[in-house]
Amino acid sequence: MTDHIEVDGADLGEDTVILEPDASILGAIGRGHTLTSALADLIDNSIDAGATRVSVRFVTKNAAVRAVRIRDDGCGMTISQLERAMTLGGGSEHSGSDQGYFRVGLKAASLSQARILTVFSTTGFSPAAGMRLDRAQSGPQIRAQVIDAGAAASVLQKRGLDADSGTVVEWSDLESISEASTYHARRSWFEAMIVHLRDELGLTFHRMIADGRIRIELDELDEGSNESGAPRLVKPIDPFAFEQWGATDYPKTLDAEVAGGGRLTLSCYMLPPGVDGPNVKMLGRPRGTWQGLYVYRNDRLLQSGGWLQLHPDASVETQLARAVLELSPDVLDAVAMNAEKRGVVLRPSAMQALERARTDGFSLKAYFDDAREVWRRGQQRELRAQPFAAVGEGAPSGLESLVQTTLGIRDDAVAISFGWVDLAPRQLYQFEPVAGLVWLNSEYRAELESDLPRLELLKTSIFLLLEPHAGKERLASHTRERLDVVHAALASVALRGHKTTVRGDTSPHRAEAAAPEPADSEPDRGNEDDEEFVLAESVLLRGRDPYQALADPALALVHIDDDVLKDFLRRIRDYPLLSAHEEVELARKIEAGVLARDRIARLSREERNSQLGLDLEGLARDGDRAMDRMVGSNLRLVLHIARGYQHRGLELADLIQEGVAGIIHAVRKFDRFHGTKFSTYATWWVRQGITRALADQSRTIRFPAHIVEKLPALTKAWEATTGPTTDRIIAVAGLLGESVLAIRAIINNLRAPISLESARQAVTVENRVEWLPLFNEVIDIEEMTPHDVVTRKMFHRQMDSLLDSLSERESGVIRMRFGIGVVAPMTLDAIGDKYGVTRERIRQIERDVMEKLRHPDRSNSLRPYLCAE
């Protein structure tokens, strides 16, 4: 350096010195990182290395996190490249398309969370490399331990790196973890941390995850058992994934010229006022906190919300406004990102450019004004009557026309239909919300139909009561209670004075009890008016143990439907959902039942009949009932998951059956001490059971389970390609990272085999269209079968042997006369000329030979073939 330095006109000289960083700097870098931003920084490195799959594994012991391992399938590093990567400010030069920028990400992110950083990597063409860096250093130099190549290769294999190349980054001696003294507190912290990490990574990398450029998985490895749980896939959370926007002409674009060069493009979006969902209230935070700028660099989210001093952040009236700012290399001087890539800073040049920008009369001020107007309109609620549900069969005459001409009919509601069915005594009707069916008690049919105006008034009242709930799968408890009360009121009025008789009871005592009272006697109406009328669902379900038989046999109605799926949907309503406390209590009973069964198996016959044996048998039965309830209460989860696998080769009922087997297995393996909800744990087992069934049963030609998981992506990639088959296979193999032979084998067997019995349309010679079996086209029905070919050859061989037993002239005459072994049969004259005799002599020889051949000694050898012909 030769430039002179001047301060206030004084020449200070030109000498320089080299300032080496002290090793203690390792304890200062990356202090602005959170766990999520640190992991995101390492995922950035994996993306720059060409990785398509990143796995983040938390190694735990007694719910305490002992280590974190980040594994990818990128290009890996040689030992020299790893040395540069572990150097502060080292690493490879980054291009404008890379996620890396400051060249301190690996060190700063890792050492902000852990005291020891260890990296193992392999390129596939050079020895494996490994290096360890300890933050607790001091002195003028930073030292890292180099790990032997053989040891590094062994560790990579143990860490599950199954690709040809890749990198494993391991954090140990962690700091940002829960140090709670109780297991449940540590477990709760871990589960909350995993959910938050999954969602925040899904938001940060949502563009790359959505288009399949990267797949991120989180899982847990128990250090004691060395078993890992089901991986949790990070799913994209797109802040702009909406089908419609809150204002016309949106989204709008605002272009801003930055002083000194560069252009900022701001894409302005407006959320609909009434929208809700995971893309609105992201990470469990209110909608208003997510207004502001979303700054992207190379499709990676750097800033999520906040107006960066362009506008107040907490303004209620602009909470529907979200804007996207894409960073290109030429504007990084105007928009600076921090080293942790957790936010950006708008420098004065960028702020001035955005505030001055005008595009077709649209400006930042106009954007905020539109946001306030949309929000204000959304707060104005129009009070008007809602349309009715449709009117179905059995409804009163004139009700449908009245509904259509007044308030109209809802498009999304099912029709309310009426029918008659046998119900419990003193029950007026039963309602099925999903189907919109109202079943009236057939016991009162004759009485109600005898008074038609009363029946139509009753149906109209029931329709107006129940139509808001048509099509709903579940009703809230307070709604059910209200419907019960109204049912009781309608029943008490509509059935006043009705005498309930027991069907089929013709005893004289019953007839006497049902006889009319004398006219001069005053009947006691008090008990009749006070009778309780309730919905059958409440009578059957509320206030009883679902494992005990009903006390009143008259109410023990068992409904069996011919439709298996419909019967299943009916039965799952018998099991209420479980709270977290109930899940733990049922798991405790199941565990006690299993232990009791094991203890009973070791008891002698006398001990089983003792009080101890009876107590153990009671515990075992309690465990069986608890398991039945745990399975039954989670059947809705099975149905929900099974519906996501429809149209893949198995019927929904078969998918549910496999899912139920998975839920049973999950109940048996569930450990209540882990602190997780059972549904979270069981989801993986249900999916595993369903996917294995699809792999084993859905295709005539079975695909392995790992191939079945890739079929949707493969099919999508195949449909997106065009051209010759070989070129398409090569393109798909490149997109999915599979070999060409594997893709060709899958494509060749992708379509389901066609049965030869399936009917195909064909046109006959008479120009008539007929449906014929496929085998008529692919099989020549006139062609000889293998059996016929062998039979014919054996016949020719036997015929030759038989003719060889004759004299040469006799054999020749027969062969030429019948065309055996010659081109065509010959006439008597031609044969006579051949042998120099007359035509008559040849006829005599033929006659004599045929007599010889008809003799049983000769003809018996040919008779089986003649019968076959």
Residue 631, SS3?
A: helix
Q: Residue 166: its pLDDT value, please?
A: 92
Domains 23-233 and 786-868 share a fold: no
| Helix/strand number for the chain, H first, E second | 32, 23
Residue 215, pLDDT > 80, answer yes
| Per-residue pLDDT at 706 exceeds 60 | yes
Cβ-based neighbours of 326, under 8 Å, separated by 6 or more: 265, 267, 296, 297
Give the pLDDT of residue 385: 64
Structure tokens at 172: 């140990």
Q: DSSP states of 781-819 as a string?
A: TTSPPHHHHHHHHHHHHHHHHHHHTS-HHHHHHHHHHHT
DSSP assignment of 77-103 equals --HHHHHHHTSTT-SPPPPTTSS--SS
In this predicted structure, the answer to whether residue 526 has a pLDDT above a threshold of 50 is: no
| Domain boundaries defined on the chain | 23-233, 252-379, 399-497+530-558, 573-698, 707-748, 786-868
Of 79-88, 532-541, 585-594, 748-757, the range with the lowest mean pLDDT is: 532-541
pLDDT at 537 over 70: no
- Is the separation of the CB atoms in 296 and 327 below 8 Å? yes
Mean pLDDT value of segment 278-298: 87
Q: Looking at per-residue confidence, does 147 or 474 come out higher?
A: 147
> Which pLDDT score, from 0 to 100, does residue 524 have?
43
| From 246-260, 516-530, 740-754, the region with the lowest mean pLDDT | 516-530
Helix (H, G, I), strand (E, B) or coil at 273: coil
User: In this structure, are residues 300 and 208 in contact, taking their beta carbons and an 8 Å threshold?
Assistant: yes
- Per the DSSP assignment, residues forming a β-bridge with 10 are 7
Q: Which of 119-123, 380-384, 469-473 has the highest mean pLDDT?
A: 119-123
CATH fold of 23-233 = Heat Shock Protein 90 (3.30.565)
Q: Is the pLDDT of residue 268 over 90?
A: yes
Calculate the average pLDDT of the chain: 80
Backbone angles phi, psi at 458, to 5 degrees: -65, -45
For range 125-145, the mean pLDDT: 87
pLDDT tens by residue, 144-153: 899 999 999 9
SS3 state at 45? helix
What is the per-residue DSSP string for 839-857? HHHHHHHHHHHHHHHTSHH
The architecture that CATH gives domain 786-868 is Orthogonal Bundle (1.10)
When pLDDT is cut at 50, 70 and 90, the band that residue 225 belongs to is confident
Residue 4 — pLDDT band, cuts 50, 70, 90? low
Q: How many beta carbons lie within 10 A of that of residue 651, not counting itself?
A: 12
277's tokens: 């969902």
Write out pLDDT tens, residues 771-830.
Answer: 777 777 766 666 677 887 888 888 888 888 888 888 888 888 888 888 887 778 889 888
CATH class of the structural domain 573-698: mainly alpha
What is the C-alpha to C-alpha distance for residues 23 and 29, in angstroms, rounded to an integer?
Answer: 11
